[in-house]
Amino acid sequence: MRDNEKSTNFIIKNRSFSLEGYLCPSIRRLIGNLPNKIKDSIEEIRLRINNPLIIHVNNQDYFITQKGELSLSSKDSFTVTKDNIDNTLQFITNYSIYSVEEELKNGYITVQGGHRVGIVGKVLHNNGVVKTIKDFTGLNIRVAREKIGAASNVLKHIIDNGEFVNTLIVSPPQCGKTTLLRDIIKNLSDGIPSLGLKGNRVGVVDERSEIAACYQGIPQNNLGIRTDVLDACPKAQGMIMLIRAMSPEIIATDEIGRDEDSMAIQEALLAGIKLITTVHGKSLEDIIFKKVIGSLVKEGVFKKIIILSNKQGVGTIEKILDGTTFNDLLEYPLKNKVAG
C-alpha cells in the first residue's frame, strides 16, 4: 500500500470511531501491530520530521523501531519523513487543508471522536495576527478517551446538602484535570440522586475545544443532558454570553487566568451562578500568588480545591482542600479508579 492511500481497516478503537484511519499507511501498520494493551493506553502519537516516531503511554515516551517494536532507545527507530506528515495531514483534513484554515490559526485541529491534532511549521502572520501555518514539520495526535467515572472519588466532597459548591481543580499538565472536569460536568448535568443532587443547567465555555471536543459543532464527549457548550469561545466573553442567554445554574471552564476572566466570574457569582474551573499548578502554594486565581482563592470563592498529581498514575487525587481553612479533607491520596 502506498503512503498516500487511505485505508478503511481500523484497528485502534475509541468509542465508535477509530483514530487509525487518519495515519499514513507506514505509521498505521506500525501502530496497528502493537499489543492491544499498548494501543488502548496510547495518549499521544508524535510525528516530527526527520526524527523518531514516538508514542506517549502511561506518562512514558516510547520509540517504535523499524520492525514495529517498542523501545526506550531511539536506536533503530522509525524515522518520520515529510511525506508521512503531509499524507497524514491529507487524511486528517479529508484532502482539503483549506477547509481547516480557521482551526490552523489556533495550531490544532479537532477530528471526529474528539481527538486533537497539534500542528507546527512555518507560521504566516500579519501585524502579529496568525493567519495560517504551512511547511508542516510536526504533528502531535492527542488520543481522546472519555473516562466515565473519573469523578467518582470526588463527587461527595463537592456536593453539600444536595447542592454543588464552587470548585477549583489544580493540576500539573497531563495529570487528568480535563478528564476529571468532564465527568464532574456530566454528573452535575444529569444529577446524582444518591447525593440528593438534582440535574443542573450547566454552561461550558470550551475555549480550547478540549472539554467537549466538538467536531462540526457537535460535542464528542458526553457532558450530560442539561449542558450547553460554547466551543472555541474566549472564556470571559463566553461566560457573559451564557449568563445573558442560557440561564445556567453552573458555569464550567478550563484554565482561567486573565483579568477579564476574573471580572466575568464576579458577574456570574453576583447572578447566583456556581462555578467549576481549573488552573495549572502542583499545590495551593503554587497558585496562591497568581494574580487572578490567587485573589479568588484568598477571597474564599472556591469552597473546595481539588489537587491532582500522577504519583499513583494519571488522575491521582492528591488532596481535597476546604476552601476556607485549606485543611485537607482526605486521609491519603486516592488513585483514580479509571486512570489509564
Question: pLDDT of the chain along its 340 residues, tens only?
Answer: 455 544 333 333 344 346 778 999 999 999 988 998 898 889 899 999 999 999 999 889 999 999 999 999 999 999 999 999 999 999 999 888 888 888 899 899 998 888 999 999 999 999 888 989 999 999 999 988 788 899 999 999 999 999 999 999 999 998 989 999 999 999 999 999 999 999 999 999 999 899 999 988 899 999 999 999 999 999 999 999 999 999 999 999 998 989 999 999 999 999 999 999 999 999 999 999 999 999 999 999 999 999 999 898 889 999 999 999 999 999 999 987 554 3
Where b means 16+ CB within 10 Å and e means fewer, 222-239 reads bbbebbbbbbbbbbbebb
Neighbours of 138 (CB within 10 A): 15
pLDDT at 85: 97
**Are 35 and 173 part of one and the same domain?**
no
pLDDT at 252: 99
Spatial distance between the Cα atoms of 167 and 157, rounded to a whole number of angstroms:
10
**Are 180 and 85 part of one and the same domain?**
no
**Are 159 and 138 part of one and the same domain?**
no
**Are 306 and 162 part of one and the same domain?**
yes
Spatial distance between the Cα atoms of 264 and 257, rounded to a whole number of angstroms:
12
In-domain check, residue 4: no
In-domain check, residue 268: yes
pLDDT at 243: 98
Whether residue 311 contacts residue 333, with contact meaning beta carbons closer than 8 Å, is answered with yes
> Global pTM?
0.84
pLDDT at 202: 99
**Are 208 and 250 part of one and the same domain?**
yes
pLDDT at 114: 87
**Are 81 and 230 part of one and the same domain?**
no
**Are 231 and 313 part of one and the same domain?**
yes
In-domain check, residue 260: yes
pLDDT at 313: 85
Looking at residue 190, which CATH number applies to its domain?
3.40.50.300
Domain count within the chain:
2
**Are 43 and 167 part of one and the same domain?**
no
Of 142, 171, 192, the position where a domain reaches its end is 142
Whether residue 314 contacts residue 340, with contact meaning beta carbons closer than 8 Å, is answered with yes
Looking at residue 58, which CATH number applies to its domain?
3.30.450
**Are 94 and 234 part of one and the same domain?**
no
